[in-house]
Amino acid sequence: MVEAANVPHARRVLELGPGTGAFTHAIKDCLPRTANYLGIEMNERFVETLQQRFPGFDFAAAAAQEFDFDSYLPVGEAFDAIVSGLPWTAFPESLQKDILDHVMKRLVPGGCFATFAYWGFHKLPGGRHFCELLKRQPGRLRMTAVVWGNVPPAFVYVVQRDR
């Protein structure tokens, strides 16, 4: 996920739904020292734990589709990488669209959005709809190879925004 989103070369990273911090830990391991991190997580108890576990990282207890980016980002700034742990296929179609519409415009030209999908679930209606939304983003969509050792097997969708 972090390689697919090009986190090792990012100046500003956004994580959606960091939860208990599995991806956050991987991000911390490869994020450049001078880079900034923001995690948006709607579960306040997770946010409290994340703040203790990752000092120096910013966390907001908020819904990704509602977060006020203008009050967080310096004028003219956007994210180089967005890493998402959100359960997209479980979301209603309208929420998938609301979140993507809200966050993708905060990605710099050439920046990468990465999210995972469980193999098989991506063929269910919610998974197909999400993939269609990704195809409509202004950028190039690719899928990584399936990681069969993951339980359940999963792959990563990457959208690189047009420059």
Least distance in Å: CB of 132 to ligand SAM? Answer: 20
Write out the residues near ligand SAM by the rule CB under 6 A.
16-23, 40-43, 46, 63-65, 85-87
Taking the least distance from each CB to ligand SAM, the nearer of 60 and 108 is 60
Return the amino acid letter for 8.
P
32 Cβ contact partners less than 8 Å away, ≥ 6 residues apart? 8, 9, 10, 11
Q: Is 141 helix (H, G, I), strand (E, B) or coil?
A: strand
Least distance in Å: CB of 147 to ligand SAM? Answer: 15
Taking the least distance from each CB to ligand SAM, the nearer of 65 and 160 is 65
DSSP, residue by residue, 9-58: G-SEEEEE--TTSHHHHHHHHHS-TT-EEEEEES-HHHHHHHHHHSTTSE
Taking the least distance from each CB to ligand SAM, the nearer of 109 and 153 is 153
Taking the least distance from each CB to ligand SAM, the nearer of 34 and 69 is 69
Least distance in Å: CB of 163 to ligand SAM? Answer: 28
